[in-house]
Homo-oligomer: A and B are copies of this chain.
Amino acid sequence: MTVKKTKKRQNETLHLLPIGVIRSALHTRSKAPKQGYEGAPDAWLEINAFAEQCLDGLKAGSNIIVITWLDRARRDVFKVHPRSDPNRPLTGVFATRSPDRPNPLGLHRVTIRTIVKNRLRIGPIEATDGTPVVDIKPVLSVQPDF
């Protein structure tokens, strides 16, 4: 019975609800840096009304991890040339930060510049305009490398 339940859980589809969206001057993937620290701009993160109260306690100057849904990515790509460099051998996407992967989640460590009602100015961030956001987590001060 337990085995059955676990098997079922292992393969069922999980449902994410966007909690906000990125508003950025970056509009195309080809113009976006691969990582935020590679010259990406700041952007706005607009939080959907239902999730606004989840922001209580966040402050300008804090470092957070924003989890996005990279909706322009391909989900049927399992190996890539790292950094899109054809001279590098094909590598499994779990060993790379390629946006193309079975579940195109993006991790972005950013600083909160300011908070205006339901909008957070954050950066630097390489996500393009319109990218859905699915979670925000604080960087843990007791474990600064996460």
Which A residues lie at the B interface, using CB under 8 A?
Answer: 5-6, 9-21, 35, 37, 48, 50-51, 53-58, 62, 64-65, 67, 69, 71, 78-79, 90-97, 101-103, 105, 107, 109, 129-130, 132, 134-140, 142-146
Contacts and interface: CB of A to CB of B under 8 A. Distances in A.
A7 to B, nearest CB: 9
Nearest to A77: B54
A67 to B, nearest CB: 6
Given A9-B18, A17-B102, A51-B94, 9 more contacts: A5-B130, A9-B71, A55-B92, A57-B95, A57-B96, A58-B94, A103-B134, A105-B135, A145-B146
B109 A57 contact: no
A31 to B, nearest CB: 17
A94 B14 contact: no
A54 B92 contact: yes
Contacts of A90: 56
Q: Considering residues A19, A62, A93, A129, which has the most beta carbons from chain B within 10 angstroms of its beta carbon?
A: A93
A93 to B, nearest CB: 5
A75 to B, nearest CB: 8
B16 A14 contact: yes
A97 B37 CA distance: 24
Q: Considering residues A90, A94, A109, A143, which has the most beta carbons from chain B within 10 angstroms of its beta carbon?
A: A94
